[in-house]
Each structure stands twice: as structure tokens, then as C-alpha cells.
Amino acid sequence: MRASSPSDHLNNWRAQKEQRRELGDRLDQPRELDHFFFFRRRSNAEAAAQALADADFRVSVEPGLLRTALTASRDDALTDADVARIIHELVGIAATHGGGYDGFGGAIVPMDE
């Protein structure tokens, strides 16, 4: 299982940010973001889930045959500072618990809202 670095995710964010801007996303507005993780051991996923819950994330753990998936959701804005802070926090939690962070997704907040 290859661990991803914050810089990998921040590089990916640049392209996602450009797409969001083209779609008229108000990046400074909070919206629900879903963050995705994977772990080889369910016990590691459950420990990470507790750390994420302590950081005000809503968490679901989905055991699988070869690995356990974890989704953590919370409302956050998508300014560069917010994204950098979130990515560093979540990559760190994943690494601490022997897993990987696989990125995030969330809705577009249109300019007319």
C-alpha cells in the first residue's frame, strides 16, 4: 500500500481547483466534503475513525475482502489555505494509523447561491 504525501494531493488540487473555477464554484463557501481512506486492517481503520470523529468528521467504515474503506465527511470551504490544512491533517491521520488517504470530493457551490 503506497502512502501518499500531502504534496501529491496538493498537486492534484491545482487541477481540481481550476475545474471548479470554470464551473463557477464559490471556493470560499463551506460545503460537505467526503474524504476517502483505505486500510489493510479493520482495527487501524476503526482507530482512524475515532481520530476523525474527534476532529468533527462524520465517519463510516466499510470492511472489504482485502482492505477496509473509510469515508469521513465534514463541511469545509475550499480556499487554498483550507485545502492545505485539511490535506496535511488527513494524510497525517491516515499515516499514523497505517492507512492511506485517497483524496476528497464535494459539490459545486454556484455563484448565484
Q: Do 35 and 73 touch, CB atoms closer than 8 A?
A: yes
Residue 6 in this model has a pLDDT that exceeds 90: no
The whole-number average pLDDT for the span 73-101 is 97
DSSP per residue over 66-78, as a string?
S-EEEEEEEEE--
Instruction: Place 28 in a pLDDT band, splitting at 50, 70 and 90.
Output: very high
Residues in the chain, overall count: 113
Residue 1 in this model has a pLDDT that exceeds 50: no
Q: How far apart are CA 113 and CA 106, in angstroms?
A: 16
pTM: 0.92
What is the CATH class of 33-105? Answer: alpha beta
For 42-81, write each residue's pLDDT tens digit. 999 999 999 999 999 999 999 988 999 999 999 999 999 9
Instruction: Place 113 in a pLDDT band, splitting at 50, 70 and 90.
Output: low
Domain boundaries, the chain: 33-105
The whole-number average pLDDT for the span 93-107 is 96
First to last CA, the chain: 41
